[in-house]
Amino acid sequence: MKRVGFLLQVKRDKLDEYKAHHKAVWPEMLAALRRTGWHNYSLFLRDDGLLFGYFEAAESLEASLEGMSREAINQKWQEFMGPYFEAISGRPDENLIVLEEVFHTD
């Protein structure tokens, strides 16, 4: 298991919509995340749109991203959510700013 933290920037004028979509994530997307090793996945949003994501990868970030790249529902979700983010090229999941883990305690 690998802990992964990442950042993205949500557009300020789309914060409410972004939050609403995450109150009703498509069941097929949730199933795909579970199948591809995204465990204990959480998103935290600051009021200026800074998004911090955390998940525990079954194997690695790369393996989890590779697994999702093969999921048709992920392509649809990424296209749907793309307009909510600042300064990305391509899909949101290809623009994660991955953070270095510097401390952990159980």
Q: Which of 21, 22, 39, 104 is catalytic?
A: 22
Does residue 49 come out as left (phi exceeding 0), alpha (psi in the -120 to 50 range) or beta? left
The single residue listed with the structure tokens 């305690």 is: 105
| Pick from 74, 100, 105: nearest CA to 4 | 100
Per the annotation, the verdict on 22 as an active-site residue is yes
The C-alpha angle 75, 9, 84, rounded to 5 degrees, equals: 50
Pair of tokens at residue 57? 């990868």
Catalytic residue positions? 22
